[in-house]
Structure 1
Amino acid sequence: MRDLLKGARIAVKTCMGVRRGESVLVVTDSPRLKIAEALLKAARAAGAEATLICMQTLSRHGEEPPEVVASAMRAVDVVLAPTTYSLTHTQARHQACRAGARIATMPMITEDMMRRGAMLANYRKVNRRTKKMAALLSRASEVEVNSPTGTELSLSLKGREAHSDTGIFHQPGDFGNLPAGEAFIAPVEGIAEGRAVVGGSMVGFPRETVEIIIKKGMASKISGAHAAKLKKLLKAVGPKAYNLAELGVGTNPKARLIGNIIEDEKVLGTCHIALGDNSTFGGKVRAGVHIDGIILRPTVKLDEKIMMRRGRLMV
């Protein structure tokens, strides 16, 4: 466990700002238990009243946890959730934040990710960059995304507010991922058009790509070597799973492309889209699933201003 404690201390002290006497809940499942135990130890060392819940592994990102877990999340000051599947876009997380909890979800995090890479970033610098990118997204009405691999996508952001996953969650209701580092927004539903070519980490095959055709804000065609896995998951959830839910921009210079979406989407110089639920960050679709896909070396144009050109920030 000792080699996991550096990342755990960063999560507890720097990112969550845990103070003596606060209540901390660590929510996990069996595959992430060692990471959870390191976080528990770091929280107790910080003087917190810390508890660990190990639940049964869920079946997909965005699935609601058991009510006993959701209830516990609403009753504490801080939640750290190293789990196999993400609790970020769940009503359990949303309601806990409304109750005042500070929450860091850590889906698919590995022991290697606790030791190196994005988790060890200077989060104060990530915080500043991320807030700047979010402000630019919030001011934009239209966005175009292109990439050398064939992405040609247009979206409307009119009236939508971007969010900052900064890695600094010190105020009641703050939430985000750890490792952190993205600015993200829910595009206006029913408007996006074009083609997105995303990395295969979306479906567990990072060396491959998946092509998604978007019509009227919905994924209408999905192709690629392992597209069947994604199509099967979306079909099982239902029509709302095909919603183009998110546009995000990575802001963490320590993040690596490792085939794990929770770190891949934070890589500085990338952007990502997601399908499914956006109800917890300003959208109108509640789908019970949220799946991200990375776009490499993108050019991102906000109205008439180039935000990123072939993976290089221009602002």
Structure 2
Amino acid sequence: MELSDVCRKILKNSLDLKAGETFLIVTDDAKKRLAEALYRAGQAIGAETLLIVMKERQRSGEEPPRAVAATLIEADAAVLITEFSLTHTRARKRAVEAGTRLATMPGITEDMFLQGAITADYSEVKALTERITGLLDRGRRVLIEKGGQRLAFSIEGRKGVPSTGVYIHSGESGNLPSGEAFIAPVEGTASGRILVDGSVVGVGKLKSSLLLTVKDGRLVEAEGEGAGRLLELLGADLGRSVAEFGIGTNRSARITGNVLEDEKVYGTVHIAFGSNLTFGGTIEAGVHIDCVFKDPDVKIDGCQVMKNGRMSGTAPKR
């Protein structure tokens, strides 16, 4: 499909954009060209389409300018297509609370528009994502095992969040492309070690494993490819807090080095560090960095949810 056709399909199928609605696109210079394609698609649908180009943020989780946050609240639907993620920001959270239907596309490329996760059957993605979200909702404790390493933490009292790729009702939001169920682990409960072999935000696709050591909910040591860069991005304070546990549910997604697609890959899970205030946690760190790894074993309350990346009760990977 041509880029223009893909943009119209996204706006109709994922956001149910209608003629006469106020549609806001927030972008930066890095993603301006792709944002302009969405702008033209919004106009073609007949929406009152607005495009705001802001200064590029320095890291994922950094807030946009106040004027952008205020305009987001007034929109019927919005797309945030930026180099660094605005997903875990107060601005996104407040817009959704005000009823904006919203999709975030951090770091998306033209290749990702035309291939991979965006081409998925989103009815299938939605069904699997909601099933896994239910398991997280009911769960109390998670155990992840990979390569002889183990990481455990509590999710008791926390709510799972589905990112289905379909945001057609007031106040729904998530990534595009999408396909993950995620949750905020209880602060201070995560301990153990885990091998990351997929990708890391700010580092990219890994050629060798990165070993992370967590104690009392905090990253205390990183060894291997990208370790120095990861610690630099997180800083020395709240940025090193375990913030998120997520499971990918999109069979069309690929490991590309871009976490927007990588964390959606079926058979992967991810742990993020930094902020989680926007999805049920208590940490506001001004940074949110995801670490993706492949083919783990996952147990929730002792029950096997995933074995070597294959989810219980699901068909084999394609």
TM-score, structure 1 normalization: 0.96
* Partner Cα distance (1:6, 1:273) in 2: 34
Whichever residue aligns with residue 127 of structure 2, its letter is R
Identity %: 43
Q: Deviations over 1:143-165 (max 9, x none)?
A: 101113x4411010111110000
* Partner Cα distance (1:258, 1:195) in 2: 24
Whichever residue aligns with residue 218 of structure 1, its letter is R
Partner of 1:243: 241
Q: Deviations over 1:240-292 (max 9, x none)?
A: 10110010000001101111111000001111010000000000111111000
**Count of aligned residue pairs for this structure pair:** 311
* Partner Cα distance (1:222, 1:107) in 2: 25
8 Å CA contact 2:81–2:107 kept in 1: the answer is yes
- TM-superposed CA distance for 1:9, in Å, is 2.1
- TM-superposed CA distance for 1:226, in Å, is 2.2
8 Å CA contact 1:256–1:264 kept in 2: the answer is yes
* Partner Cα distance (2:292, 2:73) in 1: 32
- 2:127 partner SS: helix
| Equivalent residue in structure 2 for 1:260, among 234, 258, 261 | 258
Partner of 1:212: 212
Unaligned runs of 5+ in 2: 314-318
* Partner Cα distance (1:93, 1:211) in 2: 32
Q: Deviations over 1:286-315 (max 9, x none)?
A: 111100011110111011211110011113
The more displaced of 130-139 and 197-206 is: 197-206
Please list, as runs of the form range in 1=range in 2, the aligned pairs for 1:57-68 lying within 5 A after superposition. Answer: 57-68=56-67
- TM-superposed CA distance for 1:200, in Å, is 5.9
- 1:187 partner SS: coil
8 Å CA contact 2:183–2:279 kept in 1: the answer is yes
The more displaced of 4-13 and 91-100 is: 4-13
8 Å CA contact 2:198–2:294 kept in 1: the answer is no
Whichever residue aligns with residue 275 of structure 1, its letter is F
Partner of 1:23: 22
Whichever residue aligns with residue 111 of structure 2, its letter is D
Q: Deviations over 1:119-173 (max 9, x none)?
A: 111112211110011001111111101113x441101011111000000101111
- Cα RMSD for the two superposed structures: 1.3
| Equivalent residue in structure 2 for 1:168, among 155, 166, 171 | 166
- TM-superposed CA distance for 1:73, in Å, is 0.7
Partner of 1:313: 311
Structure 1 residues 200 and 271: alpha-carbon distance in aligned structure 2, compared to 1, 3 A threshold: closer
8 Å CA contact 2:198–2:262 kept in 1: the answer is no
* Partner Cα distance (1:6, 1:222) in 2: 43
Q: Deviations over 1:64-86 (max 9, x none)?
A: 01111111111101110110000
* Partner Cα distance (1:166, 1:151) in 2: 30
* Partner Cα distance (1:193, 1:90) in 2: 26
* Partner Cα distance (2:242, 2:170) in 1: 29
Please list, as runs of the form range in 1=range in 2, the aligned pairs for 1:296-307 lying within 5 A after superposition. Answer: 296-307=294-305
* Partner Cα distance (1:161, 1:231) in 2: 28
* Partner Cα distance (1:225, 1:128) in 2: 35
The more displaced of 223-232 and 282-291 is: 223-232
- 1:267 partner SS: coil
Q: Deviations over 1:194-229 (max 9, x none)?
A: 012213631424123322111001101111132111
Partner of 1:224: 224
- 1:129 partner SS: helix
Whichever residue aligns with residue 84 of structure 2, its letter is Y
Whichever residue aligns with residue 7 of structure 2, its letter is A
8 Å CA contact 1:7–1:120 kept in 2: the answer is no
TM-score, structure 2 normalization: 0.95
* Partner Cα distance (2:212, 2:168) in 1: 37
* Partner Cα distance (2:5, 2:196) in 1: 32
The more displaced of 196-205 and 251-260 is: 196-205
Unaligned runs of 5+ in 1: none
* Partner Cα distance (2:71, 2:55) in 1: 15
8 Å CA contact 1:247–1:274 kept in 2: the answer is yes
Whichever residue aligns with residue 79 of structure 1, its letter is A
* Partner Cα distance (1:151, 1:36) in 2: 42
